Chain A
């Protein structure tokens, strides 16, 4: 009996591992977004009051609930302490905060890098696998992906298809001329970020639930998430942080603090190649923006993952 149980557990774990390795959208590399122009009028997503009182309206609100309360609404697909809205502010509506209305109309998308076409459902699955460190993601026709896609579709109401709308993604912030500085980043983190995210990037909880998201460690995004890139985090931070004080940091400050955050350890990249950080670095990180995965920083190899 004991033996049988063990075998079952082992095969379950094994099949879990096999499933987790299936990644529909392997290419998580960045999209290029120019810096925003002055006095721009961004696309305006619809208001909730405009939603019809029918199955469509209910599906949109189901997607909304998943988006703002992901960890509690879809616990089996979230392996860390994050919710979608942590990185897509204002419930996925805010310009320069990777709004859903800037992403949805750009799919299906062709990626030259792996000569593949990826659907929006696959993009969402990628979010679950990397940003949410969730293991096997919900199926393309699952309740979760359907509801989130419907929510994104609704937010894109009257947006043109296949057009790069201003405000999409996190607009690029130029790297400081002399590169980033981890010591300045640490000082800025202590001054402006630790009040919410904690001295060790651990976030803050009420009861079991995170209120402020963890920025590194086992409950944060993994090494495959787009946010692990220093340039992407710098862009996000510059345009969105501290919460309610967007654009209050200089470009250099945003880069320094992004580098400080992203030189800390986090869960392993689920695309790990043959158990080798070096092979994974070569295949997925060597040409993916600015990141330190697989590099040695202050004598420590980064990218070893957390427990």
Chain B
């Protein structure tokens, strides 16, 4: 004789299992969230997560889940401002954020050439990327964002293969203070020391860095 409690528990577990099989976790990236207004990410960021350069929508594929989760929470709280992203982030639950950021982090990122600091820079953008402008306390971009701007850990997102329009918009937002959700004002401080020409040049550089050839 099997106790009723255990039978119930087993059937409940069975139900849970069959439920998962019948309805896989909804793919928020492709289908959107449960609440109204939680549009699918792919609508703007592309089915492959590579963004939409012409509109300045950033690439998400391969970004750190922790970084993405922080950005979505910052959009929710207003710590990061974006008329497009804030309403979208507000209708995502915490568990939806966890699930969608894990899915995006697992999407294949484009290859980034390992452009090292010993390479001779060619032009203003690459010079800033590899050498910085230390007379104004501007470090080399790659000293935090990694070789080629590939991104480092959860606090330093990739710059490589991001649309120039997006990178320039963010640098300008750091510069004028409308974006300020960085750790210890590390990026804001740097952007405020940059000129308009430098912002444009470095944004152009990282948007095309994936196409550069690396000399051995």
Once the chains bind, are B184 and A242 in contact (CB under 8 Å)?
A: yes
Once the chains bind, are B150 and A206 in contact (CB under 8 Å)?
A: yes
CB-based A-B contact count at 8 angstroms: 65
Bound together, the chains give a CA A149 to CA B190 distance in angstroms of 32
Q: Digit string of B144-185 for contact with A (CB within 8 Å is 1, else 0)?
A: 101100111101000000000000000000000000000111
Q: Provided the pairs A64-B118, A244-B190 are in contact, do residues A211 and B152 lie with their beta carbons within 8 angstroms? A: yes
With a cutoff of 8 Å between Cβ atoms, the chain A residues found around residue B139 in the complex are 89, 243-244
Bound together, the chains give a CA A89 to CA B134 distance in angstroms of 9
Bound together, the chains give a CA A245 to CA B150 distance in angstroms of 23
Within the complex, the shortest CB–CB distance from A148 to chain B, in Å, comes to 13
Q: Provided the pairs A93-B134, A243-B143, A246-B137 are in contact, do residues A192 and B184 lie with their beta carbons within 8 angstroms? A: yes
Once the chains bind, are B137 and A195 in contact (CB under 8 Å)?
A: no
For window 179-211 of chain A, which residues contact chain B by CB distance below 8 Å?
Answer: 191-192, 195-196, 204, 206-207, 209, 211
CB of A61 within 8 Å of the partner chain: yes
Q: Provided the pairs A195-B155, A243-B143, A244-B139 are in contact, do residues A72 and B186 lie with their beta carbons within 8 angstroms? A: no
Of B116, B137, B152, B185, the residue contacting A204 (CB under 8 A) is B152
Once the chains bind, are A69 and B116 in contact (CB under 8 Å)?
A: yes
CB of B189 within 8 Å of the partner chain: yes
Q: Digit string of B116-134 for contact with A (CB within 8 Å is 1, else 0)?
A: 1110100000000001101
With a cutoff of 8 Å between Cβ atoms, the chain A residues found around residue B183 in the complex are 195
Within the complex, the shortest CB–CB distance from A26 to chain B, in Å, comes to 31
With a cutoff of 8 Å between Cβ atoms, the chain A residues found around residue B120 in the complex are 48, 61
**B: interface residue count bin:** 20 to 34
Within the complex, the shortest CB–CB distance from B29 to chain A, in Å, comes to 25
With a cutoff of 8 Å between Cβ atoms, the chain B residues found around residue A209 in the complex are 147
Once the chains bind, are B147 and A196 in contact (CB under 8 Å)?
A: no
Q: Which residue of A lies closest to B193 (CB)?
A: A244
With a cutoff of 8 Å between Cβ atoms, the chain B residues found around residue A207 in the complex are 114
Once the chains bind, are B184 and A191 in contact (CB under 8 Å)?
A: yes
Within the complex, the shortest CB–CB distance from B43 to chain A, in Å, comes to 31
For window 127-144 of chain A, which residues contact chain B by CB distance below 8 Å?
Answer: none
Q: Which residue of B lies closest to A90 (CB)?
A: B134
Once the chains bind, are B116 and A72 in contact (CB under 8 Å)?
A: yes
Of B132, B138, B147, B186, the residue contacting A211 (CB under 8 A) is B147
Once the chains bind, are B134 and A204 in contact (CB under 8 Å)?
A: no
With a cutoff of 8 Å between Cβ atoms, the chain B residues found around residue A68 in the complex are 117-118
CB of A119 within 8 Å of the partner chain: no
Within the complex, the shortest CB–CB distance from A284 to chain B, in Å, comes to 32
Within the complex, the shortest CB–CB distance from A195 to chain B, in Å, comes to 5
Bound together, the chains give a CA A203 to CA B151 distance in angstroms of 14
Once the chains bind, are A245 and B118 in contact (CB under 8 Å)?
A: no
With a cutoff of 8 Å between Cβ atoms, the chain A residues found around residue B150 in the complex are 206
Within the complex, the shortest CB–CB distance from A247 to chain B, in Å, comes to 9
With a cutoff of 8 Å between Cβ atoms, the chain B residues found around residue A61 in the complex are 120
Q: Digit string of A84-103 for contact with B (CB within 8 Å is 1, else 0)?
A: 01000111011000000000
Of A72, A90, A192, A245, the residue contacting B132 (CB under 8 A) is A90
5 contacts between A and B (CB under 8 A): A85-B117, A191-B184, A211-B146, A243-B143, A246-B137
Residues of A within 8 A of B (CB): 48, 61, 64-65, 68-69, 72-73, 85, 89-91, 93-94, 191-192, 195-196, 204, 206-207, 209, 211-212, 242-246
Q: A68-B117, A69-B117, A196-B155 are in contact. List 16 more A-B contacts (CB 8 A).
A: A48-B120, A65-B118, A69-B118, A89-B134, A89-B139, A192-B184, A195-B184, A204-B152, A204-B153, A209-B147, A211-B143, A211-B146, A212-B143, A243-B143, A243-B144, A245-B186
